[in-house]
Amino acid sequence: MPRALVTGGAGFIGSHLVDALLAAGWQVRVLDNLATGRREQVPDEAEFFEGNVGDSQLAQQACQAVDVVFHLAARVSVRDSFDFMVEHNTTNVTGTLVMLKAAAAAGVTRFVLASSMAVYADAEPGTANAESHPTRPLSPYGISKLAAEEFVLLAAPAFGVEPVVLRFFNTYGPRQAFSPYVGVVTIFITRLLQGLPCTIYGEGEQCRDFVHVSDVVRACLAAGHESAAVGQCINVGSGRGTTVNELAMLIAKAVVTTPNFTHGPEQSGELRNSVADLTRARQLLKYAPAAVLEERLAQLVAEFRLR
């Protein structure tokens, strides 16, 4: 059996990836500090290591006899990153280097890095970002993810490890923990179900690419074995642009409630237009998003009602 290590495997995307790997016949290890992840989201079949990715001794233990490392552990909040720049750098940059060195020392074949659309510069309305779009982050979070990308693409081949970088767009779905800073879909659903107003920052015409976690997981699985993906940065999204105002109306419809949205000031560091061009993902990962936003929002609302 192939063996995978998933850092951040107790979290939102990571726990879904762990489930998919186990279903595909992999042996799986999880490394997570449980800062945002939940231990109960790690199946009993997966070996669990609790701790930080910056712990070199723990990283070396977790990487032993592993074929592929899926490095998803990160601090992920754009807004939070302005107040916690050092912490974002420590986890997202230094933590990535610690994991990469441990993987190389253990003879890991492939290192798949979860990056973000936050590495890009803002785009013109109505356009989609190819991977050649300028990388000019607007937040410390984006800077930390871009630095991690550059380190992995430079150092992994020198260490004898195959690097693959996946740039996730706005991911949503089950198990995303509620936070006032991350995950607008989860925030809107949670507050509307509680009868509370939701804040749309700016005028709400900023355009995003909302990709369901199931599609992100399929891209990760492909990145673990497709040879054409080695050495590449690859967008992972839906390829569809949706404004925040449109999203708000879709969620209100799914909740079956009168829209209760207010507008606040624009937030620093957030891209105005960010939609994925999936040409490279289709070619290198044989990736095609399957989730339909309206259908998945309805399913997600139903799941939230059962909590």
Write out the two tokens for 224.
């673990």
For tokens 């990715």, name the residue: 53
Query: Which secondary-structure segment (H or E) carries 47?
Result: strand 47-50
Is 181 among the catalytic positions?
Answer: no
Phi and psi angles of residue 275, each rounded to the nearest 5 degrees, phi first: -130, 140
Q: SS3 of 115, please?
A: strand
The answer to whether residues 12 and 171 touch, using CB atoms and an 8 Å cutoff, is yes
Task: Give me the phi and psi of 256, to 5 degrees please.
Answer: 60, 60
CB neighbours of residue 60 within 10 Å = 16
- Distance of alpha carbon 211 from alpha carbon 238, whole angstroms: 5
CA distance 145 to 91: 10
Residues whose CB is less than 8 angstroms from the CB of residue 247 and which lie 6 or more positions away in sequence, other chains included? 184, 185, 188, 208, 210
Note the helical H segments in the chain. Answer: 12-23, 56-63, 80-83, 85-89, 95-105, 140-159, 184-193, 213-223, 244-255, 279-285, 293-305
Q: What is the DSSP letter of 107?
A: T
Residue of 141, 172, 201, 287 marked catalytic = 141
Q: What residues act catalytically?
A: 141
